[in-house]
Amino acid sequence: MGKTVRVFNHVILDFYSVYGKRTAEIDHIIVTDDKIIIGETKAANYVHTDYSEVPWTLLSGDTTDNPIVQNHYHKQVFCSCFGIPRERVITVEFLLEYSNCGLRSQYPNDYVLGKDNLLKGLCLLFSESKETLNFDELCKQLERIEAASVGRENEHEENLKEVREIEEKTRTRDKHYRFKRTDIAKCPLCDGFLVFRYKPWVKKKLGNINNTWNIALGCSNYPITGCNAFITPRKDGGQGFDDVEEIHIEDRMEWTIEERHVGDHFG
């Protein structure tokens, strides 16, 4: 096709949220002269593949992240880290064990490809070109980050495990997750941010070592400034941290309008 394509695999990006310092592992970042493709590859079998359902359930009965939602938040982290407009980034989920996938998901510029149309779909994405952009500096940064990501797999898995455990403990009564993984929350007492405290000492502070609510929100400035904001979940009705006001990444990045759909790759 006469195009230069750069591919970076298993890139781990650091970001901060209400869950503390966390990591996002992006399976593939594909850079061409006019667009960037973020790819998430899954070789698993699921009970259902409802694109909007969170989480998905494996045939083994274990739950796992919905790859469409997961890749969408990867895109948000990527765009916020590098200051790239969302319309320049396409997300693609590769479900290697499935055929006849619905091409479009609930997100703009997001596509789901299965084993029957993976090659054709990628070719269509690569072939549509409207302008030439200069991503040389981005590629240099990605080279460094890709190299630095080697050996961080265990760290990322531990991060992900802890986030999932916190999510389960902060679900509302109707089983909705209270915070998105990219949300932040301001401390009510100072200029700091609230982060989850998910350690053994929290159980002791809550007064019951066997308390299932062994989790709380504390100020990120503690103990540096002495701010000791400490918010425990409300137990009445099982609503957890509903009193805490979250700030979405869309607001922080001033993405004030809906992401516009770009191109008609599969029209």
CA proximity to 90, closest of 32, 137, 166: 32
- Statement: residue 47 has pLDDT above 70: yes
pLDDT of residue 222: 83
pLDDT of residue 126: 85
> Bridge-partner residues for 91, per DSSP?
38, 110
Read off the pLDDT band of 187 (50, 70, 90): very high
pLDDT tens digits for range 59-75: 999 989 999 999 999 99
Alpha-carbon distance of 180 to 244, in angstroms, equals 13
Residue 53 is which amino acid? Answer: E
pLDDT of residue 176: 67
DSSP-derived secondary structure letter, 258: P
CA proximity to 42, closest of 115, 149, 147: 115
CA distances from 256 to 84, 88, 218, 253 (A): 15, 17, 29, 8
The total of other beta-carbon atoms located within 10 Å of residue 143's CB is 13
pLDDT of residue 170: 75
The SS3 assignment for 110 reads strand
The total of other beta-carbon atoms located within 10 Å of residue 17's CB is 23
Asked if residue 260 lies in contact with residue 109, where contact means CB atoms within 8 angstroms, the answer is no
CA proximity to 126, closest of 99, 90, 102: 90
State which H helix or E strand residue 219 sits in: strand 216-219
pLDDT tens digits for range 142-181: 999 999 999 999 999 999 998 988 888 777 655 667 789 9
Quote the longest CA-to-CA distance of the chain: 66
Asked if residue 81 lies in contact with residue 13, where contact means CB atoms within 8 angstroms, the answer is yes
Percent with pLDDT over 70 in the chain: 87
pTM of the complete model: 0.88
Which domains, and CATH codes, for the chain? Answer: 6-154 (3.40.1350)
- Statement: residue 217 has pLDDT above 60: yes
205: which residues sit within 8 A by CB, 6+ positions away?
216, 230
Alpha-carbon distance of 232 to 8, in angstroms, equals 41
> Bridge-partner residues for 25, per DSSP?
12
